Structure 1
Protein backbone atom coordinates (compact mmCIF):
# COMPACT_ATOMS: atom_id res chain seq x y z
CA UNK A 1 0.00 0.00 0.00
CA UNK A 2 1.40 3.39 -0.92
CA UNK A 3 1.81 6.17 1.60
CA UNK A 4 -1.02 8.69 1.67
CA UNK A 5 -0.12 12.32 1.07
CA UNK A 6 -1.53 15.16 3.19
CA UNK A 7 -5.03 16.10 2.12
CA UNK A 8 -5.60 12.59 0.72
CA UNK A 9 -9.10 11.93 -0.55
CA UNK A 10 -10.45 8.39 -0.79
CA UNK A 11 -12.14 8.92 -4.15
CA UNK A 12 -10.48 11.58 -6.32
CA UNK A 13 -12.54 12.96 -9.20
CA UNK A 14 -9.95 11.93 -11.81
CA UNK A 15 -6.24 11.41 -12.28
CA UNK A 16 -3.66 11.12 -15.05
CA UNK A 17 0.05 10.14 -15.05
CA UNK A 18 2.75 9.96 -17.68
CA UNK A 19 6.45 9.15 -17.53
CA UNK A 20 9.57 9.94 -19.52
CA UNK A 21 13.05 8.47 -19.40
CA UNK A 22 15.74 11.12 -19.06
CA UNK A 23 19.45 10.62 -19.68
CA UNK A 24 20.53 12.33 -16.47
CA UNK A 25 20.89 11.26 -12.83
CA UNK A 26 18.00 11.94 -10.42
CA UNK A 27 19.91 14.79 -8.72
CA UNK A 28 20.03 16.77 -11.98
CA UNK A 29 16.35 16.14 -12.77
CA UNK A 30 15.44 17.03 -9.17
CA UNK A 31 16.91 20.51 -9.57
CA UNK A 32 14.39 21.21 -12.35
CA UNK A 33 11.40 19.55 -10.69
CA UNK A 34 11.76 21.63 -7.52
CA UNK A 35 12.44 24.96 -9.30
CA UNK A 36 8.80 26.10 -9.47
CA UNK A 37 9.85 29.64 -10.38
CA UNK A 38 11.37 28.20 -13.60
CA UNK A 39 8.34 26.18 -14.76
CA UNK A 40 7.61 28.86 -17.35
CA UNK A 41 10.58 27.43 -19.25
CA UNK A 42 8.91 24.00 -19.56
CA UNK A 43 5.16 24.36 -19.18
CA UNK A 44 2.63 25.09 -21.91
CA UNK A 45 0.56 27.01 -19.33
CA UNK A 46 2.68 28.24 -16.43
CA UNK A 47 4.72 31.36 -17.12
CA UNK A 48 6.56 31.47 -13.80
CA UNK A 49 5.63 32.76 -10.38
CA UNK A 50 6.99 33.60 -6.97
CA UNK A 51 7.39 32.16 -3.49
CA UNK A 52 5.15 33.62 -0.80
CA UNK A 53 6.69 34.82 2.43
CA UNK A 54 6.16 32.63 5.44
CA UNK A 55 5.20 33.84 8.95
CA UNK A 56 8.86 34.75 9.51
CA UNK A 57 8.79 37.11 6.51
CA UNK A 58 11.17 34.93 4.48
CA UNK A 59 10.09 33.66 1.02
CA UNK A 60 9.66 29.91 0.66
CA UNK A 61 12.23 27.72 -1.04
CA UNK A 62 10.23 24.59 -1.81
CA UNK A 63 10.10 22.93 1.58
CA UNK A 64 6.95 21.22 2.88
CA UNK A 65 4.46 23.91 3.92
CA UNK A 66 5.91 26.61 1.63
CA UNK A 67 3.47 28.40 -0.67
CA UNK A 68 4.13 29.34 -4.29
CA UNK A 69 1.97 31.48 -6.57
CA UNK A 70 2.05 30.24 -10.14
CA UNK A 71 1.19 32.64 -12.94
CA UNK A 72 -0.58 30.83 -15.74
CA UNK A 73 -1.68 31.78 -19.23
CA UNK A 74 -3.70 29.81 -21.74
CA UNK A 75 -5.18 31.27 -24.88
CA UNK A 76 -6.16 34.83 -23.87
CA UNK A 77 -6.74 34.10 -20.19
CA UNK A 78 -4.23 34.68 -17.37
CA UNK A 79 -4.66 33.68 -13.73
CA UNK A 80 -2.70 33.03 -10.56
CA UNK A 81 -2.84 29.73 -8.72
CA UNK A 82 -1.45 29.36 -5.19
CA UNK A 83 0.05 25.97 -4.40
CA UNK A 84 1.38 24.46 -1.19
CA UNK A 85 4.29 22.02 -1.07
CA UNK A 86 3.03 18.88 0.68
CA UNK A 87 5.82 16.35 0.04
CA UNK A 88 9.56 16.57 -0.53
CA UNK A 89 11.77 13.52 -0.46
CA UNK A 90 15.10 14.61 -1.94
CA UNK A 91 15.76 13.28 -5.44
CA UNK A 92 12.66 11.04 -5.26
CA UNK A 93 9.28 12.67 -4.71
CA UNK A 94 7.93 16.24 -4.88
CA UNK A 95 4.26 17.17 -4.61
CA UNK A 96 2.15 20.29 -4.28
CA UNK A 97 -1.55 20.99 -4.17
CA UNK A 98 -3.41 23.79 -5.92
CA UNK A 99 -5.28 25.98 -3.46
CA UNK A 100 -3.10 24.69 -0.65
CA UNK A 101 -4.39 22.07 1.75
CA UNK A 102 -7.12 24.53 2.72
CA UNK A 103 -8.83 24.12 -0.69
CA UNK A 104 -7.10 20.87 -1.80
CA UNK A 105 -8.21 21.03 -5.45
CA UNK A 106 -5.45 19.48 -7.59
CA UNK A 107 -2.43 17.44 -6.58
CA UNK A 108 0.63 17.69 -8.83
CA UNK A 109 3.27 15.07 -8.10
CA UNK A 110 6.69 14.33 -9.57
CA UNK A 111 8.33 10.99 -8.81
CA UNK A 112 11.91 10.22 -9.83
CA UNK A 113 13.11 6.64 -10.20
CA UNK A 114 16.72 5.76 -11.03
CA UNK A 115 16.89 4.00 -14.39
CA UNK A 116 20.44 2.81 -15.10
CA UNK A 117 22.51 5.99 -15.40
CA UNK A 118 19.33 8.00 -16.00
CA UNK A 119 15.99 8.77 -14.41
CA UNK A 120 12.37 7.91 -15.08
CA UNK A 121 10.32 11.01 -14.26
CA UNK A 122 6.61 10.51 -13.63
CA UNK A 123 4.24 13.45 -13.43
CA UNK A 124 0.76 12.92 -11.96
CA UNK A 125 -2.26 15.22 -11.94
CA UNK A 126 -5.03 14.28 -9.51
CA UNK A 127 -8.22 16.29 -9.30
CA UNK A 128 -9.07 15.91 -5.62
CA UNK A 129 -12.23 18.00 -5.51
CA UNK A 130 -14.17 20.37 -7.73
CA UNK A 131 -13.46 24.08 -7.73
CA UNK A 132 -16.41 26.50 -7.80
CA UNK A 133 -15.83 27.04 -11.55
CA UNK A 134 -15.93 23.29 -12.18
CA UNK A 135 -19.19 23.01 -10.27
CA UNK A 136 -20.68 25.95 -12.19
CA UNK A 137 -19.71 24.74 -15.68
CA UNK A 138 -20.01 20.99 -15.08
CA UNK A 139 -18.76 18.20 -17.31
CA UNK A 140 -17.63 20.51 -20.10
CA UNK A 141 -15.24 22.23 -17.68
CA UNK A 142 -14.03 18.89 -16.27
CA UNK A 143 -13.31 17.57 -19.77
CA UNK A 144 -11.44 20.78 -20.61
CA UNK A 145 -9.35 20.58 -17.42
CA UNK A 146 -8.53 16.90 -17.95
CA UNK A 147 -7.53 17.49 -21.58
CA UNK A 148 -5.41 20.47 -20.60
CA UNK A 149 -3.72 18.46 -17.83
CA UNK A 150 -2.84 15.64 -20.26
CA UNK A 151 -1.44 18.12 -22.82
CA UNK A 152 0.41 20.01 -20.09
CA UNK A 153 2.01 16.90 -18.65
CA UNK A 154 3.23 15.81 -22.09
CA UNK A 155 4.63 19.29 -22.83
CA UNK A 156 6.28 19.69 -19.44
CA UNK A 157 7.91 16.25 -19.43
CA UNK A 158 9.20 16.67 -22.99
CA UNK A 159 10.58 20.13 -22.25
CA UNK A 160 12.22 19.05 -18.99
CA UNK A 161 13.81 16.09 -20.77
CA UNK A 162 15.14 18.32 -23.57
CA UNK A 163 16.45 20.93 -21.13
CA UNK A 164 18.22 18.53 -18.78
CA UNK A 165 19.74 16.50 -21.63
CA UNK A 166 21.00 19.61 -23.51
Structure 2
Protein backbone atom coordinates (compact mmCIF):
# COMPACT_ATOMS: atom_id res chain seq x y z
CA UNK A 1 0.00 0.00 0.00
CA UNK A 2 1.33 3.43 -0.93
CA UNK A 3 2.00 5.89 1.85
CA UNK A 4 -0.37 8.83 1.96
CA UNK A 5 0.88 12.39 1.86
CA UNK A 6 -0.51 15.75 2.86
CA UNK A 7 -1.83 17.72 -0.10
CA UNK A 8 -1.05 21.11 1.48
CA UNK A 9 1.75 22.26 3.77
CA UNK A 10 1.54 25.93 4.76
CA UNK A 11 2.89 28.42 7.26
CA UNK A 12 2.92 32.23 7.52
CA UNK A 13 4.94 34.92 9.23
CA UNK A 14 4.51 38.67 9.62
CA UNK A 15 7.50 40.71 8.52
CA UNK A 16 8.13 44.34 9.44
CA UNK A 17 9.28 45.22 5.92
CA UNK A 18 7.54 46.38 2.74
CA UNK A 19 6.38 43.77 0.24
CA UNK A 20 8.86 44.85 -2.45
CA UNK A 21 11.76 44.08 -0.11
CA UNK A 22 10.33 40.65 0.78
CA UNK A 23 9.59 39.98 -2.92
CA UNK A 24 13.22 40.66 -3.83
CA UNK A 25 14.28 37.99 -1.34
CA UNK A 26 11.78 35.21 -2.13
CA UNK A 27 12.29 35.51 -5.88
CA UNK A 28 16.09 35.32 -5.57
CA UNK A 29 16.25 31.58 -6.28
CA UNK A 30 20.07 31.36 -6.20
CA UNK A 31 19.99 32.65 -2.60
CA UNK A 32 17.35 30.14 -1.43
CA UNK A 33 20.07 27.94 0.07
CA UNK A 34 20.70 30.76 2.56
CA UNK A 35 17.20 30.34 3.99
CA UNK A 36 15.97 26.81 3.23
CA UNK A 37 17.59 24.01 5.25
CA UNK A 38 16.97 21.54 2.40
CA UNK A 39 18.53 23.51 -0.46
CA UNK A 40 22.29 23.26 -1.04
CA UNK A 41 22.44 25.23 -4.29
CA UNK A 42 20.12 26.64 -6.96
CA UNK A 43 21.05 27.83 -10.44
CA UNK A 44 18.66 29.70 -12.74
CA UNK A 45 19.06 29.00 -16.46
CA UNK A 46 19.82 32.32 -18.14
CA UNK A 47 20.16 33.98 -14.72
CA UNK A 48 16.83 35.85 -14.73
CA UNK A 49 13.98 34.83 -12.45
CA UNK A 50 10.69 35.44 -14.27
CA UNK A 51 7.57 33.57 -15.36
CA UNK A 52 8.67 30.43 -17.21
CA UNK A 53 12.26 30.54 -15.92
CA UNK A 54 13.79 27.15 -15.19
CA UNK A 55 16.33 26.27 -12.54
CA UNK A 56 18.16 23.37 -10.99
CA UNK A 57 18.48 22.60 -7.29
CA UNK A 58 20.73 20.41 -5.25
CA UNK A 59 18.85 19.34 -2.12
CA UNK A 60 19.98 17.61 1.05
CA UNK A 61 18.92 15.55 4.00
CA UNK A 62 21.87 14.87 6.29
CA UNK A 63 24.59 13.45 4.03
CA UNK A 64 22.13 12.54 1.26
CA UNK A 65 22.00 14.78 -1.83
CA UNK A 66 19.65 14.81 -4.82
CA UNK A 67 18.98 17.11 -7.78
CA UNK A 68 15.63 18.59 -8.79
CA UNK A 69 14.50 20.87 -11.60
CA UNK A 70 12.02 23.69 -11.18
CA UNK A 71 10.02 26.04 -13.36
CA UNK A 72 8.48 29.36 -12.31
CA UNK A 73 4.72 28.98 -12.86
CA UNK A 74 3.43 32.17 -11.16
CA UNK A 75 5.20 35.53 -10.96
CA UNK A 76 2.98 38.38 -9.83
CA UNK A 77 4.91 41.08 -7.95
CA UNK A 78 3.00 42.90 -5.20
CA UNK A 79 1.85 46.36 -6.31
CA UNK A 80 -0.24 49.14 -4.74
CA UNK A 81 -1.25 47.06 -1.74
CA UNK A 82 -2.20 44.02 -3.84
CA UNK A 83 -1.05 40.53 -2.95
CA UNK A 84 2.07 39.16 -4.66
CA UNK A 85 2.44 35.54 -5.72
CA UNK A 86 5.56 33.61 -6.69
CA UNK A 87 5.42 29.86 -7.37
CA UNK A 88 7.49 27.15 -8.95
CA UNK A 89 6.78 23.55 -9.87
CA UNK A 90 9.30 20.78 -9.23
CA UNK A 91 9.50 18.43 -12.22
CA UNK A 92 10.46 15.25 -10.38
CA UNK A 93 7.63 15.16 -7.86
CA UNK A 94 5.05 17.56 -9.41
CA UNK A 95 4.78 19.64 -6.23
CA UNK A 96 4.22 23.39 -6.41
CA UNK A 97 6.04 25.60 -3.92
CA UNK A 98 4.84 29.16 -3.50
CA UNK A 99 5.27 32.38 -1.59
CA UNK A 100 2.31 34.72 -1.17
CA UNK A 101 2.94 38.27 0.02
CA UNK A 102 0.05 40.21 1.53
CA UNK A 103 0.12 43.69 3.05
CA UNK A 104 -0.42 44.03 6.80
CA UNK A 105 -2.21 46.93 8.50
CA UNK A 106 1.09 48.29 9.88
CA UNK A 107 2.80 48.55 6.47
CA UNK A 108 4.57 45.23 6.74
CA UNK A 109 4.09 41.98 4.86
CA UNK A 110 2.53 38.66 5.73
CA UNK A 111 4.57 35.99 3.95
CA UNK A 112 2.98 32.58 3.40
CA UNK A 113 4.96 29.62 2.07
CA UNK A 114 3.07 26.63 0.68
CA UNK A 115 3.77 23.23 -0.78
CA UNK A 116 0.82 22.03 -2.81
CA UNK A 117 0.19 18.85 -4.77
CA UNK A 118 -2.45 19.76 -7.41
CA UNK A 119 -1.39 16.81 -9.60
CA UNK A 120 -0.46 14.52 -6.72
CA UNK A 121 3.11 13.44 -6.04
CA UNK A 122 4.86 11.28 -8.63
CA UNK A 123 5.14 7.56 -7.87
CA UNK A 124 8.92 7.74 -8.23
CA UNK A 125 9.06 10.45 -5.58
CA UNK A 126 6.75 8.52 -3.25
CA UNK A 127 8.87 5.38 -3.56
CA UNK A 128 12.15 7.28 -3.05
CA UNK A 129 10.76 9.17 -0.06
CA UNK A 130 9.78 5.88 1.57
CA UNK A 131 13.02 4.07 0.69
CA UNK A 132 15.60 6.83 1.14
CA UNK A 133 14.19 9.85 3.00
CA UNK A 134 12.48 8.22 5.98
CA UNK A 135 8.91 7.86 4.74
CA UNK A 136 6.13 10.38 4.17
CA UNK A 137 5.34 11.12 7.83
CA UNK A 138 8.91 11.90 8.85
CA UNK A 139 9.76 13.71 5.62
CA UNK A 140 6.58 15.81 5.88
CA UNK A 141 7.53 16.88 9.41
CA UNK A 142 10.99 17.76 8.10
CA UNK A 143 9.39 19.86 5.34
CA UNK A 144 7.17 21.63 7.91
CA UNK A 145 10.20 22.52 10.04
CA UNK A 146 12.03 23.63 6.90
CA UNK A 147 9.19 25.92 5.85
CA UNK A 148 9.20 27.54 9.31
CA UNK A 149 12.98 27.97 9.26
CA UNK A 150 12.84 29.45 5.76
CA UNK A 151 10.19 31.98 6.79
CA UNK A 152 12.10 32.96 9.93
CA UNK A 153 15.36 33.45 8.02
CA UNK A 154 13.68 35.54 5.31
CA UNK A 155 12.03 37.64 8.03
CA UNK A 156 15.38 38.22 9.75
CA UNK A 157 17.02 39.30 6.49
CA UNK A 158 14.10 41.50 5.39
CA UNK A 159 14.04 43.27 8.76
CA UNK A 160 17.81 43.75 9.02
Q: TM-score range by the shorter chain?
A: 0.7 to 0.9
Alignment match, 1:55:
none
| Structure 1 runs not aligned, ≥5 long | 1-11, 53-58
- 115-124 or 142-151: bigger deviation: 142-151
Select 2:103's aligned residue among 114, 117, 131. 114
Secondary structure at the counterpart of residue 164 of structure 1? helix
The 3 A distance-change label for structure 1 pair 80 and 145 is: same
Alignment match, 1:74:
61
**Map 1:1-166 → 2, pairs under 5 A:** 14-52=7-45, 59-91=46-78, 92-99=84-91, 105-115=94-104, 116-127=106-117, 128-135=120-127, 137=130, 141-166=135-160
TM-score normalised by structure 2 residue count: 0.83
The 3 A distance-change label for structure 1 pair 13 and 21 is: closer
Measure, in 1, the Cα distance between the counterparts of 2:38 and 2:76: 26
Q: Could you tell me how far 1:60 is from its partner in structure 2?
A: 4.5
Q: What RMSD over aligned residues (CA atoms) do the two structures have, in Å? A: 1.9
Q: Deviations over 1:70-90 (max 9, x none)?
A: 121220111111111000001
TM-score normalised by structure 1 residue count: 0.80
Measure, in 2, the Cα distance between the counterparts of 1:60 and 1:28: 20
Q: Could you tell me how far 1:34 is from its partner in structure 2?
A: 0.2
